[in-house]
Amino acid sequence: MAQETPPHPFVYWAQNRSYILLRVDLKDVKNPDVQVNENCIKCSTAGVGARGNLLYEFELELHANISPLKSQYRVTPRQIDISLKKEDDEWWPKLTCSNVKPSWLKIDFDRWKTEDDEEEEALTKENLDPNPEELVEKPTFTLEKLKKMYLFIYNLWQLIGFLYIVTTLAVRYMKDGEESFPGAYESIHNALKFCQLMQILEIFHPVFGYTKGGVMEAVVQVGGRFVVLFCLIEAEPRIQTKPVIFYLVLSWSIIELFRYPYYMARVYNKDIGIITWLRYTMWIPLYPLGFVCEGVVILRNIPYFEETEKFSVALPNPWNFSFHYPTLMRIYLLFFFLPAMYSMMAHMQRQRRKKIGPYVTKSSGNKED
């Protein structure tokens, strides 16, 4: 059996006239093996990256030659910084000799410079006014700043949307109690559908390097909600008036009230303790509630879809193909519902341990699993 190839870490690169600067996005690096020759760099190390605590490797065939003896690297708690000394002090049009850029290789916009930037800095130093009080700082708008601005506005917009949903449901419940359940979905369905459609962007954020999360995690979470909302609730009006819809939408939305403020803070590398704690703690009661409600929605919908045969394909037909949607719902409930719930809960528990850490007893100070 062929041995599985170790995954690649995310590598961010920048340059100036004399150096190529690489940043390997791995935390808790152990036993790094960095090999540099005139036109190639190889790195193999254990660390915590996008796919967890694993062995990561990458190799780059460089666009031009470098000086290995003048190149160096250093390991920090959050990354590996590598400086490659160019053999000739000139600007490279690209990093590798290949015309195809690997998906895990990104541009480090925070350290990126061009030839024009260096000329401008040299000109600024020559013409710099010696009186610092007369200097006026001019704003600079880089692609990285625009990216952060977009992410902040996106997360703020989603926060406002889900806050509207929670507030509407809460006000209706305080006014009418359980009598508000039949009309709960009707009161917020447009806002919920809009916010859910917007969440599709969260699948593309890691694809384009806007965020560091895994793509499959986003696909599972966003796709699962998309199916429940549009293929179960929106497709069958009779389920929309059930009390379970009120609790399902409320659990979904409250989770987002803690998730999006955390993402807003992380856009600018802010770590606000209470927001981080809430983000990685409130899922403990809310995720099981949401999963149970989703299961109830699927179970209650089976007779409805048996009756309407919506999304089902019966024989005969031109494609000679049959599909029974209620049978798929039963198979999911019997074989995949509990594993999916366990997988998501285990993933969130791992994330919580990374961000907050395991519980520490006051008496012994030992970490408990």
Does residue 318 fall inside a structural domain? yes
Kind and range of the H or E run holding 139: none
If asked whether residues 155 and 249 sit together in one domain, one would say yes
pLDDT in tens, 103-114: 898 888 877 766
If asked whether residues 38 and 156 sit together in one domain, one would say no
pLDDT at 209: 82
pLDDT band at 97 (very low <50, low <70, confident <90, very high): confident
Give the residue from 87, 111, 135 where a domain finishes.
111
Does residue 127 fall inside a structural domain? no
Range of the domain at 310: 143-355
Q: Name the active-site residue from 56, 154, 294, 325.
A: 294
pLDDT at 3: 58
Does residue 360 fall inside a structural domain? no
Q: Give, as one character, the DSSP assignment of residue 8.
A: P
If asked whether residues 153 and 49 sit together in one domain, one would say no
Per the prediction, the chain carries an average pLDDT of 86
Does residue 221 fall inside a structural domain? yes
Q: Is 26 helix (H, G, I), strand (E, B) or coil?
A: coil
pTM (whole model) above 0.85: no
Does residue 283 fall inside a structural domain? yes
Does residue 121 fall inside a structural domain? no
Give the residue from 92, 111, 130 where a domain finishes.
111
pLDDT at 322: 92
If asked whether residues 94 and 154 sit together in one domain, one would say no
If asked whether residues 347 and 199 sit together in one domain, one would say yes
pLDDT band at 135 (very low <50, low <70, confident <90, very high): very low
Does residue 4 fall inside a structural domain? no
Distance in angstroms (rounded) separating the CA atoms of residues 283 and 263? 15
Does residue 192 fall inside a structural domain? yes
If asked whether residues 244 and 330 sit together in one domain, one would say yes
pLDDT at 361: 42
Beta strand pairing call for 11-15 and 105-107: parallel
pLDDT in tens, 255-286: 999 999 999 998 988 889 899 999 999 999 99
**Number of domains within the chain:** 2
- 287 among known catalytic residues: yes
If asked whether residues 80 and 166 sit together in one domain, one would say no
If asked whether residues 199 and 348 sit together in one domain, one would say yes
Q: Name the active-site residue from 19, 287, 304, 332.
A: 287
If asked whether residues 291 and 251 sit together in one domain, one would say yes
If asked whether residues 102 and 250 sit together in one domain, one would say no
Q: Is 121 helix (H, G, I), strand (E, B) or coil?
A: helix
Q: Best-predicted range by mean pLDDT among 7-16, 26-35, 290-299? A: 290-299
CB neighbours of 27 closer than 8 A, spacing ≥ 6? 47, 48, 49, 77, 78, 79
pLDDT in tens, 27-43: 988 888 899 988 899 99
CATH, residue 89: 2.60.40.790
Minimal CA–CA distance to 188: which of 212, 210, 215, 161? 161
- 294 among known catalytic residues: yes
If asked whether residues 106 and 149 sit together in one domain, one would say no
If asked whether residues 222 and 346 sit together in one domain, one would say yes
